[in-house]
Amino acid sequence: AQTVTQSQPEMSVQEAETVTLSCTYDTSESDYYLFWYKQPPSRQMILVIRQEAYKQQNATENRFSVNFQKAAKSFSLKISDSQLGDAAMYFCAYRSSLNNNDMRFGAGTRLTVKP
Amino acid sequence: DTGVSQNPRHKITKRGQNVTFRCDPISEHNRLYWYRQTLGQGPEFLTYFQNEAQLEKSRLLSDRFSAERPKGSFSTLEIQRTEQGDSAMYLCASSSSGNSNQPQHFGDGTRLSIL
């Protein structure tokens, strides 16, 4: 079974600085999808960025980028120029291309942004 | 469209009572998912619908849980004879079909507290 591990329960970053959130996963599949979701306090979870495993190029969305290392099964999220509104729980998620109904989430990383 | 809508936002009930939650997905999405999220954890998959058909159920979905999507639009999740361990946030998500990397869009969730 696929598992997703986020080894950092909490992280903090100074406003305008850069922070990297770690995520590793375990799978025997070669084709799959990886996601980072953001869940602000008492608000809904929203998609931050996604990566298809067959693509070697790291995905980028404005200030958010990933470092996808397929061989190492690592999928870290880098947030550049951190803003106060980035404070939230961040969840890494894995979804198989064979069974794309079952998305596995990590336990999350709580990000605090200091002014 | 305002996104995935869930009602109620909070539900407090005594142990042993039945509860029902509702989810209204994004109108053009034919896929609907239910997740459970406990404190400090990521969401855990419960069940999935494509249109009105319930195609997959997790082992987490005990016999006391039942989900329906009678007309392929909104869905309900019912928990019978609630137990303390049922206390959690219940999240609904929807997505369109097509490419399997379509992201899931989440609602605000229903927080269930069992007294």
pLDDT reported for residue A105: 94
Q: Which two tokens stand for residue B58?
A: 């997790």
pLDDT reported for residue B96: 86
Q: What is the mean pLDDT of residues B31-48?
A: 92
Q: What is the mean pLDDT of residues A16-33?
A: 94
Examine the pLDDT at A2 and tell me if it is beyond 80. no
Residue of B50, B104, B108, B110 to mutate for A, most A C-beta atoms under 10 A: B104
How far are the Cα atoms of A15, A36, A59, B40 from residue B58, in angstroms, in the given order? 41, 22, 31, 20
**Cβ within 8 Å, pair A101-B48:** yes
Q: What proportion of chain A, given as a percentage, has pLDDT over 90?
A: 78
pLDDT tens digit sequence for A58-100: 999 999 999 999 999 999 999 999 999 999 999 999 998 877 6
Task: Enumerate chain B positions whose Cβ falls within 8 A of a Cβ in A.
Answer: 3-4, 31, 33, 40-45, 48, 55-56, 58, 91, 100-101, 103-109
Q: What proportion of chain B, given as a percentage, has pLDDT over 90?
A: 76
DSSP code per residue over B30-87: -EEEEEEE-TTS--EEEEEEETTEEEEE-TT--TTEEEE-TTSS-EEEEE-S--GGG-
Examine the pLDDT at B106 and tell me if it is beyond 60. yes
pLDDT reported for residue B109: 94
Q: Which residue among A91, A100, A101 places its CB closest to the CB of B42? A: A91
Query: Of A95, A114, A69, which Cα lies nearest the Cα of B42?
Result: A95
- Residues of B within 8 A of A44 (CB-CB) are 3-4, 106-109
- Residues of B within 8 A of A47 (CB-CB) are 103-105
